[in-house]
Each structure stands twice: as structure tokens, then as C-alpha cells.
Amino acid sequence: MTPISVLAAGETANPLLPATYDIIWSAVCFAIIFFAFWKLVLPKFRDILDERAQAIEGGIEKAERVQAEADEALAEYQKQLADGRAEAARLRAEAQEEGAQILAEMKQNANDEAERIIAQAKAQIEAERQAAMVSLRGEVGGIATDLASRIVGESLRDDQRAANVVDRFIADLEAQTPAAQPVKEY
């Protein structure tokens, strides 16, 4: 220890008054710390915080995107399902309608056929009845005329009068015969 430093130590015993070396080393130390933190430490700290915030935001963004995709896929699937259901319902309705139509057509055809057969039968019966009536009329007329001529003589040979008599007779006969009615009404 040199005498000078002893003297200096004695003189700077007032703690309120900084020694020159005290100020200088304080300034040097503070400068070192400040610049090291300003240029080295804190930029790294800030960068890593930014990077982390970005990573977290990126993760959130990705999760949101995946969620959106999933939602979209679900919506698409549901839409397809709904379309399928609607299609099935439409086909079923169509088939029902078609079936009903076919049934109606078949009924209609059967009815038509039945009516046709009935009409044919009626026509045939009518024709046969007419034929029968004509032939009957002719025969009965002839027979009756013959019979009457034989009974009353030659006077009835006049054709015009004979025919009138026969017709009248037949009409009377028809009016008296109820058996002829059902055939006509059928």
C-alpha cells in the first residue's frame, strides 16, 4: 500500500462524495452492461418472443383452417346425404305415381274391354233377336196367312192387306208377351 492511497482513502471517507475512480469504473461497468444487453441480449429476447408469438398464432391459424376444412367436409357430406334422401324420395314418389297410373290404365283397359264385350254381346243378341224376329215374322206371317186363307178363303191373297194384318197381329203378340221385354232392356 503506497502512502498516496492511504491518504486518498482517508480523504474520500465521505460516502456522499464519489472518488474519481469510483465514477469511472461505475460508468465503464454500466456502459458494458448496457451495450451488451442493448445489442446482444435483449434483441435475442425480443426475437424469440416474436417468433414464439408467431408460432402460436400460426398454430391457431392452422387449427382454424383444419376446423374450417372439417366443417366444409361435414356440410358437403350432409348435403350429399340430403340430396340422396331427396332423390330416393323422388324416385319412390315417381314409382308410386307410375304404379298408380299403370293400375289406373289397367283398370281402364279392363273396363273398356268389359264394356266392349258387353256391347258386342248386346249387339249380337240384338242382331240375333232381329234375325229371329224377321224370320219368325216371315214364317209366322206365312203360316198365319196360309192358315187364315184356308179358313176364310182366297180373299186374303191380296199381299198388301195380308201384310198389314200380320203386322198388327205380331204387334199385339209382342204387347201380350212379357217374355220379350227382358231381352230388350238388357
For residues 158 and 138, give the distance between their C-alpha atoms in angstroms, rounded to a whole number.
16
Q: Contact with another protein (CB under 8 A): which of 38, 80, 118, 123?
A: 38
> Residue 63 interacts with another protein (CB under 8 A)?
no
Q: Which amino acid, 123?
A: A
Segment contacting another protein by CB under 8 A, of 16-24, 60-68, 101-109, 153-161: 16-24
Which residues lie closer than 8 Å to 69 by C-beta, 6 or more apart? none
Whether 152 and 146 have beta carbons less than 8 Å apart is answered as no
Question: In the chain, what is the straight-line distance between the N-terminal and C-terminal CA atoms, in Å?
Answer: 159
Q: Contact with another protein (CB under 8 A): which of 16, 151, 152, 175?
A: 16
> Residue 4 interacts with another protein (CB under 8 A)?
yes
Residues that bind another protein (CB under 8 A): 1-2, 4-6, 8-9, 12-13, 15-30, 32-34, 36-38, 40-42, 44-45, 47-49, 51-52, 55
